[in-house]
Structure 1
């Protein structure tokens, strides 16, 4: 790490390129694996009964049974995880948007505020991944 001055004139630790790359790889790995695992679990309900977290308004807008809705959710989560693995800059935004939808759903449900707060932290982390991601396949590593 190198030290530089912040806007307030205080010392500021700036991570070196290795630290930045490690942070990128940690976030990319988590946002690849977690959505895929949670997406697959929408089909098995091994970790949780995911329909409990679904606001009834969702199935009134899309008139399907709650479990069928969760199957679609699982597919989107798997796609989001694969997108992070393949195109992290795009995939991280997809995950962030998805997390925002989950947060809104939980707030509309009127419970699980703790989960909504946790998902807000994950949304911020997904945006950090976006900022750390290279601009594209041809982006140079400086």
Structure 2
């Protein structure tokens, strides 16, 4: 685990090929299965992520937002079987995001396993009303996400 003042990265080796993990990460309909924060409820649009610039919406729930809410995610990174990331915003149709990003990086190992790194980066958040919320998700919750991801990919 690597933590600094504006980001957290956790890493885990998962007993599955990178292509299988990537297939799961790029399907928003399955994100609830590997959400260690407990915020994700369901995906609004369930199409597979295929490139940078796409958007997908997730139904969420958390006290920090007063209960149920929707987040609109701008795909910010996409490299097939290697990397996928998104920047959330609470506003549908917003061109700009408030500045935090979720990034999954996959490294294939000779054993056939995959090293998965999950980074939560809020270094570009500038809104003084938002800054006190960070980090909203802990390193332990992120490690739980990677554990859940490992379980989800093995069940298919």
> How does the TM-score come out when normalised to structure 1?
0.29
Q: Comparing both structures, which one devotes a greater share of its residues to helix?
A: 1
Q: Comparing both structures, which one devotes a greater share of its residues to strand?
A: 2
| Higher Rg | 1
> How does the TM-score come out when normalised to structure 2?
0.27
